[in-house]
Amino acid sequence: MNRLRRWSALAGLVLMAGLLSTLRGQAPPEKKGEDKPAEKWLIDRTLAVSAAPAPVPALKYRLFPQSMERKEGNAVPIYLRFAHERGDARKKLLREKPEEWNKQPLEKLPLAEVKQFLDSYKYNFRQLDLGARRKTADWSYTLDAGDPISLLLPDAQEMRMHAPLLVLKARVEIAEGRYADAIHTLETGFSFSQHVSEGPFYITSLVAIACASQFSDCLLELEERPDAPNLYWALAVIPRPLVDLRKPSEFEQKMLELQFPDMADLDRPRSAEDWDAALLRVRKELARILEGDKEGDKPIRAPKPGTTVADPAAKSPDLAAARKYLTEVVGMSATGVEAMPPAQVLLLHMSHYYREVRDNVFKQSYLPFAQTRSLHLDAEKELKSLPDIEAARVPGLFLPAIHKVMLADIRLERRLAILMAIEALRMHAAKNGQLPDKLDQVTIVPVPNDPGTDQPFEYQRDGQTATLSSRLPGELLEITGLRYRVTFRK
């Protein structure tokens, strides 16, 4: 099984885990028979909170370690060591019990049983605490060995087990009113999530996002406690974005050269025989990858006659189109292209065409999310309508669905921003004795904008209830919509 299918399967599990973590506290479904169908939101949560001023001092609580608290050293060996310290039975227990308990409301947690379970992980918690306060997280994947799509990522799966365990610990601390301890546990969790995101792949970023989403959910449970401290400034301490997609994005952009070394070395002179040998190696590698992915969900088209491993370059049906592309798009001289061996023409066509499509897919990742939707749609349309030529097989196979990754990342940022907005409302109510009629009436602290639109969150007040909503233009509410109905206790 190659990277394309294996990683997409893991990504599906990660995103589903993140989605399931939001179900606790969701608003009940509307009753059938109503005149107007209820809107379906990805997250539609109802909670009750109390007004609360900022703590004194303001940074009494933090949800991310200070730079000076982070010691020299690499956190990754600390995290990975757990995999060698647990037997299969222990791992099964760790996968099942925290998830089971985290689905239960705080008041229904069997505290004595859960605390006994957590007590057996004291060593792990201490190590996670220390690891999350290391300065670096170097995952040391051997990318220089070539064939990156064959890298197995069991460590990513292993990291997913830590988040529910930390969440369970924080929930027990919340249930017992030990809020400072819970905040410290969540601080460890957010720092751990960022460390996970330091891996070079999109899948490690998705694992990090899923972990951080579970910690943000846990924060909502803390906010709901009648005597919960205000965490506006504690949330402000979290780096934004918490998960930076630049590293995996730029790794993915180099995938062609990493997987096909000949494609990284097309500028040096070769004999016609050497060009034929290079094309043969590229075609063999592509055939190997396609063979490994033939059972995947993505339909794989068979190579056109004339472009298989057994076909000579001179017989390629794409040769004329390749020469035209190199002269008209790349800007090479027609005379020079005509003099090239056919295999050289085909390889240069593959390389330049891949880079053109690749850049159209990735260019918008360097812009703020709110500005990029139309560009994403154009890139997705291009990927779906690639011509039936050999040069289009590599971008069609390798380039990821970037928009889905960015949606997951911006969902986390939107959730963290809404948490800050709720804390700003709690602070405003503590000072003024009531909720504002409009969000811009909150002046005690800045209310963050919706990172998905770079505009204020939608806000409605109905007596003692405030509704904060985030919807992304052009996206389905059931896929991306966030709505929080917040009732303030009198």
Give the burial class of 27: count Cβ atoms within 10 A of its Cβ; 0-12 exposed, 13-18 middle, 19 or more buried: middle
The interaxial angle of helices 202-223 and 402-432, nearest 10 deg, is: 20
Q: What is the pLDDT of residue 69?
A: 93
- CA 129, CA 123: separation in Å to the nearest integer? 10
**Whether pLDDT at 13 is above 90:** no
Give the burial class of 132: count Cβ atoms within 10 A of its Cβ; 0-12 exposed, 13-18 middle, 19 or more buried: buried
Strand 482-488 to 134-136 pairing: unpaired
Mean pLDDT across the chain: 89
**Whether pLDDT at 298 is above 90:** no
Handedness of CA 70, 73, 74, 77 (dihedral sign): negative
Q: What is the pLDDT of residue 4?
A: 42
109-118, 290-299, 473-482: least confidently modelled range? 290-299
Give the count of beta carbons closer than 10 Å to the beta carbon of residue 19.
Answer: 14
**Whether pLDDT at 145 is above 90:** no
For 462, phi then psi, to 5°, come to: -135, 90
**Per-residue model confidence as pLDDT tens digits over 373-393:** 888 888 888 888 899 999 998
Q: What is the pLDDT of residue 8?
A: 42
Give the neighbor-by-neighbor strand order of the sheet with 458-462. Answer: 43-49, 482-488, 465-470, 458-462
What is the average per-residue pLDDT within 299-306? 75
- CA 257, CA 171: separation in Å to the nearest integer? 46
Give the burial class of 182: count Cβ atoms within 10 A of its Cβ; 0-12 exposed, 13-18 middle, 19 or more buried: buried
**What one-character DSSP code corresponds to residue 60?**
S
This prediction's pTM: 0.90
- The closest of 74, 149, 51, 45 to 397, measured between CA atoms, is 149
> What confidence category does residue 32 fall into, taking pLDDT thresholds of 50, 70 and 90?
very low
**Per-residue model confidence as pLDDT tens digits over 177-226:** 999 999 999 999 999 999 999 999 999 999 999 999 999 999 999 999 99
The domains of the chain are located at: 3-251+404-488, 257-400
Q: Please tell me which residue, 91 or 43, carries the higher pLDDT value.
A: 43
